[in-house]
Amino acid sequence: MKRKSMRILITILGGWFGLHRYLNHQIGLGVLYTLTFGLFGIGWFIDIYRACASLYDFKPPVQPVPTVEEILTIDSRVYKLSYSYNRVELYTMHSFNFTVPFGAQLGFRTEPSNTYDSRAIYFLWNNTNIGYIHIGRLQDMIHDYMRPGRYILAKYEGLTEDGNVLITLSFYKESL
């Protein structure tokens, strides 16, 4: 059963005769529960406990991240990966009504005229601002890597529950 609340309800109401076991395609255990009234009530209570405990089993689903190349060749220059960060959250001021493909390469620009942060950096998809990097270490790294012999690659991952953009940021240095 996929919904945990439904599993708890079915286990409490029909567990004494094995209904939850039948629904999980455990026919043998279902018959045993039916003939023994939930293993004399003990198995039924254990299953109720397990069903309730499963509500607190916080295992977030594994989210895919874009692949990061170890070596990049751009205009006959070879760059080697120095750092890579997954699930970097951008501050998104407005939700957007278009789809960005997973793993799509993003552009970025500085915004020195920004009244809140003169070192502001925003990311682009099809020339549309999709979010700002938060003030801090990664913003400083991006400014540091915006010079000759270095390269920054940003790829789209998805959206958070709050509607903010998630990206993968990769920092490269030119191999000599």
pLDDT at residue 1 is higher than 60:
no
90-114 pLDDT tens trace:
998 777 777 899 999 999 999 999 9
11-26 pLDDT tens trace:
889 888 888 888 877 8
Rounded to whole angstroms, what are the CA distances from 69 to 89, 122, 153? 21, 23, 10
Closest among 132, 136, 135 to 165, alpha carbons compared: 132
Predicted TM-score (pTM) above 0.95: no
CB 157 within 8 Å of CB 65: yes
